[in-house]
Amino acid sequence: MAHPFTFRPRLLDALAGYDRARFLGDLSAGLTVAVVALPLAMAFAIASGLKPEAGLFTAIIAGFLISLLGGSRVQIGGPAGAFIVIVYGIVQQYGVGNLIIATALSGVLLFVMGLLRLGTLVRFIPMAVVIGFTNGIAVLIGLSQVKDFLGLSIAKMPGDFFGILGALWAHLDTFNPWTFGLALASLALIVAWQHALSALGARVPGLAWLARVPGSIVALVLATAAVALLKLPVETIGSRFGGIPAALPAFALPDFSWESARFMLMPAVTLALLGAIESLLCARVADGMIGDRHDPNQELMAQGAANFVVPFFGGMPATGTIARTVVNVKSGATSPVAGIVHAGVLLLVILAAAPLAASIPLATLAAILMFVAWNMGEWREFAHLRQLTVPYRITLLSVFFLTVVFDLTVAVQFGIFAACVNFIWRISSLSHAERLTAASHPPLAGLEEAVQVWRLYGAIFFGATKMAEALEDQLPRRVLVLDFKNVIYMDTTGADSLRNLVDACRERGVRLIAAGFMAQPLEMARRTGLLAQVQADLQPDVTSAIAAAIAALPEAGAPPPRPA
């Protein structure tokens, strides 16, 4: 038997048979992903209320650790748009010091989840919940970028939905047409770039490589050059943050205050759950693209290690990122070496080209995030809602609106609760009893009043106790036969409802014969004492049970009169 705890990064297996050709593929993919990650890392950090270098440090350190220790061959880790809303709220309410604590604590939780082999449980979160909060986060990301997209002068943006709307409305008079024009041009270039280049590459094979250059980096380079050369009156990284440092930060502990740190447990749980969902969904997408199967528990432990380390070096929460992972796969990555290369390239960019970042316009970063938010949302699900069940619609829309208007934690909690209630209701509606008659079992002809035979279906659990109560209300005169052949599950509450049915039969002089117990219901009947109550009249199948019931009729005495 294998030891329950295993720590084996996928890198060890991926390096078996590693050769020069595979390395060149990983090198090319790593360079391409680094180009994609550069503007996104800065944009995610700024949108989260942090300095741009926080995103870069996260992409470098967390990206390196996730590739080094992870359970996927091609997943790329780093800052993600899904964290923006949560991180911004923590920073605004509790400060950067407590964000460090929350991120590190989420890392511990993620590692423990992997250690306890809980990676597969994340897959049980309903898609309605995932799509609801993903679309809600996308709306909030887009809304948070309106300020920099329009060039509004707002000293401090609120973190809540109505506060954001109020601040934008109150400062519309500070609209900057230069900023808006630059942002609009950047967004148009990003949207048009891939489509135009893909069409051109199809016609001119020699230019196909241009389609691999992301539109976001093209827009970033052109907009930065325009701002620097034309001296456009727009806000830049240099004017707001003073640029980015040309070195990685040293290890630093936060200013710890128990008065505020004690409130970090729920934000840490939210970060851990969201990070787990995002990274494992991303790994599943990557599996489908490369025909592999990731190790979810190893991936969670790698995510945990990265999130525990990176906040002490100026970083922010990290997870697996779908956009960068897809680019990694399409660029020819074959192993985690590509992710390590991507982190190394970003480090070289910081060391060599940090001064150039001062001229990057925030309007272009806002346009990039607008594009990311649009691609992040599953908007087609709204158009298909009419084709789906009412509970699914209610769950998805409730999670979406709660995420946008209130809080992601509340939205996910409500979504999971609603999904559980819906699941219990649906399973209980599938659990039912069907009476067998002489049409299917001829020996019962003429005995319908004395003998009743019921075949039970589904699960006998706390949500389906009404089935046993209904049988109790219509007991036969002599013998009740229960066929458990199609019962797939029984819990203690369900077994207790059947024990009450057995007691009711005894009080009214009705003999109860049970048949066809499957493995799990039989084990539960044994553990709860139900089996001991029906052991004397236990039959292997319904045919034997009907024969036993008919044989018992001449021996049965007249039952006591039923109460009025």
Of 100, 7, 10, 41, give the one whose Cα is nearest residue 369: 41
Under 8 Å between Cβ of 128 and 341: no
Partners of 459 in beta bridges: 489
Q: Which fold has domain 431-552?
A: Transcription Regulator spoIIAA (3.30.750)
Per-residue pLDDT of the chain (564 residues; tens, 9 = 90+): 444 678 899 999 988 888 988 999 999 899 989 988 999 999 999 999 999 999 999 999 999 999 999 999 999 999 998 898 899 989 988 888 899 999 999 999 999 999 999 888 777 778 888 888 888 888 988 998 999 999 999 888 887 888 889 999 999 999 999 999 999 999 999 888 867 765 655 565 655 556 667 788 889 999 999 998 988 999 999 888 888 888 888 888 777 667 777 788 889 999 998 899 889 888 888 888 888 889 999 999 999 999 999 999 999 999 998 888 988 998 889 999 999 999 999 999 999 888 888 889 999 999 998 988 888 888 888 888 888 888 888 899 999 999 898 877 788 788 888 888 888 888 888 899 999 988 888 888 888 889 999 999 999 998 888 999 999 998 998 999 999 999 999 999 999 999 999 999 999 999 999 999 999 999 999 999 999 998 888 999 999 999 999 988 864 444 444 443
Query: What DSSP assignment string belongs to 56-77?
Result: HHHHHHHHHHHHHH-S-SS--E
Q: Where are the alpha helices (DSSP H) in 204-256?
A: 215-230, 237-241
Tell me, what's the pLDDT at 284? 85
Tell me whether residue 373 is exposed, middle or buried, using C-beta atoms within 10 angstroms of its C-beta: 0 to 12, 13 to 18, 19 or more.
buried
**Alpha-carbon span 211 to 218, nearest angstrom:** 11
Q: Residue 123: what pLDDT?
A: 72
CA distance readout (Å), 267 to 131, 271, 401: 21, 6, 20
Bridge pairing between strands 432-436 and 319-320: unpaired
For the entire predicted model, the pTM comes to: 0.79
Say if residues 345 and 303 touch (Cβ distance below 8 Å): no
Q: What is the pLDDT of residue 206?
A: 58
SS3 label, residue 479: strand
Domain ranges of the chain: 20-152+178-200+235-377, 431-552
